[in-house]
Amino acid sequence: MTDMTEHSPVTQAAAAAVNATPSPVLPDAQTVTQVTHWTDRLFSFRVTRPASLRFRSGEFVMIGLMGDPDPKTGKQKPLLRAYSIASPSWDEELEFYSIKVQDGPLTSKLQHITPGDQIILRPKPVGTLVHDALLPGKRIWFFATGTGFAPFASLLRDPQTYEDYDQVIITHTCRDVAELEYGRQLIDSIRSDELLGELIGADNLAKLTYYPTTTREESPKMGRITALLQDGTVFRDLGIDTITPETDRAMVCGSIGLNTDLKDVLEGFGLEEGANSEPKHYVVEKAFVG
């Protein structure tokens, strides 16, 4: 026998820990199939999808990795965070879009995954950025900053989004142009991919409007989305009427600051916040930041 692990002494504490908690990894492990690094702060990846996992486009799940063993007990605990599923509900795999934080407990490690690696995925999807939480309307706005684009990457590839509304407007605001790239390519693929085009339909695709802005690096459209809504720039740029509770529905996903400020803007237009249990005009969720 040359396999050292076969002969490694097992401490009583470690054995007790193993016996007390059957390995939490195995039942919920999924395999990484693809990883794309967009900038030194952003990456996306795809993993296998459990056959039994059903979700509504826009929902999130808990995903992560095993943490380091506890120095005293040898016990490892899963390190999990809430991640919006970026792929649509019909996709056979699951996609996620993540920030990389160099000293972040999870993303400092997660950013190094490569195809073939395993991650933990708890198959219990939940969330408020779902069509069920909104009353019927004519226009739907998806307001994203940073990695807040993720739930909309799912919803924008879901035919229901286009069937439910006459116009679908996605705004994405980032500090720099490079941070818009994941979203820009997603929009391009929706417009040019044959399979997606067929699934969503040409008439439906014509309903899609993409409005990217940057706040720190020069780009064709600059400014915080809150300011661009308040001074009417967005409506002038798109040649559309202002937001009203009769016609407009909105989903918001960004930092806590963005969410709070945008809620005020939307309430200023007369919109009220909805929930799964009480659908109204807009819904909000915090984008994953660590």
DSSP state for residue 68 in the 8-state scheme? P
Between the two ends of the chain, the Cα-to-Cα distance in Å is 44
Q: Closest approach of Cβ 283 to ligand A2P, in Å?
A: 18
Q: Does 183 bind ligand A2P (CB under 6 A)?
A: no
DSSP state for residue 176 in the 8-state scheme? S
Q: Which is nearer to ligand A2P, 121 or 150 (CB)?
A: 150
Rounded Cα distance, 107 and 164, in Å: 36
* CA geometry: angle 47, 213, 136, nearest 5 deg: 70
Q: Does 191 bind ligand A2P (CB under 6 A)?
A: no
The residue from 28, 142, 173, 253 that contacts ligand A2P (CB under 6 A) is 173
Rounded Cα distance, 242 and 82, in Å: 34
CA 248 from centroid of its chain's CA atoms: 22
Size of the site for ligand A2P (CB under 6 A): 14
Tokens, residue 13: 């504490």
The residue from 174, 234, 251, 253 that contacts ligand A2P (CB under 6 A) is 174
Q: Closest approach of Cβ 41 to ligand A2P, in Å?
A: 8
Q: Does 59 bind ligand A2P (CB under 6 A)?
A: no
Q: Closest approach of Cβ 173 to ligand A2P, in Å?
A: 5
Q: Which is nearer to ligand A2P, 45 or 143 (CB)?
A: 143
Of how many residues is the chain composed?
A: 290
Q: Does 261 bind ligand A2P (CB under 6 A)?
A: yes
- Write down the residue that tokens 């809430």 correspond to: 82
Q: Closest approach of Cβ 39 to ligand A2P, in Å?
A: 11
Cα dihedral angle (73, 76, 80, 85), rounded to 10 degrees? -170
Instruction: Please report, as a single letter, which amino acid is at residue 285.
Output: E
200-239 binders of ligand A2P (CB under 6 A): 215-216, 224, 226
Q: Closest approach of Cβ 114 to ligand A2P, in Å?
A: 26
Residues that bind ligand A2P (CB under 6 A): 145-146, 173-175, 215-216, 224, 226, 254-255, 257-258, 261
